[in-house]
Amino acid sequence: MVTRRTLIAGSAGIGTVAALGGTAVAAASPDPANPVSEAGHIVGATAITRVYGVGQKLIAVAVEYDRAIAGSSLSASAFAVTDRTVTRVYANTSAALAERGRDGRHVIVELSPDDRAALLWGKDAVGASSSPAPAPSGSGGAGGPGGGGPTAGDTTPGGPIVPAKATVTQTGTVTTTHGRSYAPSGTAVATSAVVNPIVDDFEQFTFDDPETGRSLKYNLFTPKGYDPRRKYPLVLFMHDAGVVNVDTVGPLVQGLGAVCWASPEAQARHESFVLAPEYGEVVIDDTYQPTSLFETTVHLVESVSEQYSIDTKRRYTTGQSMGAMLSLGLNIRYPDLFAAAYIVAGQWPDSQAAPLAEKKLWIVVSQDDDKAFPGENAITSVIQAEGTRVGTAVWDAGSTAAQFAADVRNLEKQRAPVNYATFQTGTVTGTTGATSAHMGTWQIAYSIPGIRDWIMKQSL
């Protein structure tokens, strides 16, 4: 049970949106033919982020004015953001991205996600510490004692989360909906608040496990309009070793593994709870002897299932690298806990894999992942030897969304309880730019909606 429910604030620039300052008092309207400086008319600026496969990025700044701005007066050349490329500018009624702007007090300055300064997660983020994060378990070279990889119980912090900050300057004239013109003054305005779509929809808690005596921080997404009279599925996402011992929101900002299930599009198709623990240590290494947080994870799932109206026949687990290993281990040890599992770039000893023949699995791995690929080959061979059909396919990791949708449909046509999709050698690194196929696999795997749809159809 949850013995202490502590709401944990996100790292600087992450978490609950801070309130903007008070609205400035408007001056008397001047002659529209003689625009005045914008100084004094900007109320504040808000950074807007988005999570990609590679991690969270700062992709826009919302500049709030004291009066509604006419979208027709705006152009990309009217604003500059330090060290960033402005791609689009439009008005809106709130500090939010929009396909089509609306006249309002906010001017949305969209920025290129390809800018070097865009990335907020990991060692490649501008301003990140140079200290190396632990390599994800299963990423080549045996982990554990003498293996050169992360060791179970290691608390070395993973990749850093850089605060979402930007400085914006109005460099051209903008016009209010009443015809008043604000001329540029060259005054730089720093962001003072952050909006993190989807990430902000999760709450942060701490679970104190009375059975193991361990504490486990976690993120929980509750469906909009939650009705305790209904039963909801639950998805458990477990991160890799590169996210160990960081801020609680780490699993939400390091990639798509958690947030993809909680997006408005995903929730419109499958309302569900999403549970994402933040492990303070490496839970399992390549000796396959987990720490006590393995059992605490089970107790956390059971606790959340008791606290909320969860359909215990529709609980699912997924994870990447260390998280994939945990998913496999949990399904072997607790075969009735989850209805299905999405395994991304992980492995487990084939000598223990026979119970997986009774489970519904979707496995994705790259053929040039030198540990997870042979590991999954061995596991699926055991599953087949137990008499369970395994559907197989080889995919190009650089496929379009439409091509991946067709790939999923074709694999589903094999009507197997276990689906095994491998990315062709070289296509993961060639597509993502990742330094290893292992780490690049999950940048792509969690962007394929059809796999998530298959998972959500399964039940005990």
What does the domain layout of the chain look like in residue ranges?
36-122+162-195, 199-457
Confidence at 148, pLDDT banded by 50, 70, 90: low
pLDDT at 345: 97
With beta carbons less than 8 A apart as the criterion, state whether 172 and 86 touch: no
Least confident of 1-5, 223-227, 368-372: 1-5
Measured CA distances, 445 to 20, 89, 159, 374, 435 (Å): 37, 32, 20, 18, 17
With beta carbons less than 8 A apart as the criterion, state whether 55 and 120 touch: yes
Confidence at 447, pLDDT banded by 50, 70, 90: very high
Measured CA distances, 392 to 327, 367, 414 (Å): 20, 13, 8
CA distance 296 to 427: 37
pLDDT at 15: 33
What is residue 403's three-state secondary structure?
Answer: helix
Confidence at 382, pLDDT banded by 50, 70, 90: very high
Sign of the CA dihedral with 81 first, then 84, 86, and 92 last: negative
Residues in the chain: 460
**Between 378 and 140, where is the model more confident?**
378
Cα first-last separation, the chain: 24
Over the chain, what is the mean pLDDT?
Answer: 89
Asked if pLDDT for residue 396 goes beyond 90, the answer is yes
Whether 36-122+162-195 and 199-457 share one fold: the answer is no
CA distance 293 to 300: 10
| Two structure tokens written together for 266 | 């995903």
Residue 454 phi/psi, 5-degree rounding, is -65, -45
Tell the CATH topology of 199-457: Rossmann fold (3.40.50)
With beta carbons less than 8 A apart as the criterion, state whether 51 and 199 touch: yes
Measured CA distances, 134 to 30, 51, 160, 240, 327 (Å): 60, 22, 12, 10, 20
Of 313, 346, 98, the closest CA to residue 241 belongs to 346
pLDDT at 129: 58
Confidence at 136, pLDDT banded by 50, 70, 90: low
Question: How do residues 256-268 score in pLDDT, each as one tens digit?
Answer: 999 999 999 999 9
Q: What is the largest CA-CA distance in the chain?
A: 83
CB-count exposure of residue 325 (10 Å: 0-12, 13-18, 19+) = buried
CA distance 192 to 44: 7
Measured CA distances, 80 to 38, 90, 180, 224, 342 (Å): 14, 14, 21, 36, 43
CA angle, residues 179, 97, 176, in degrees to nearest 5: 5
What is residue 328's three-state secondary structure?
Answer: helix
Sign of the CA dihedral with 63 first, then 67, 69, and 75 last: negative
As beta bridge partners, residue 55 has 52
Question: How do residues 292-346 score in pLDDT, each as one tens digit?
Answer: 999 999 999 999 999 999 999 999 999 999 999 999 999 999 999 999 999 999 9
CA angle, residues 55, 51, 159, in degrees to nearest 5: 25
CATH 2.60.40.2180 at 36-122+162-195, yes or no: yes
**Residue 436 CB contacts under 8 Å (≥ 6 apart), including other chains:** 139, 140, 369, 429
**Between 124 and 271, where is the model more confident?**
271
**Residue 184 CB contacts under 8 Å (≥ 6 apart), including other chains:** 37, 38, 78, 169, 170, 171, 172, 173
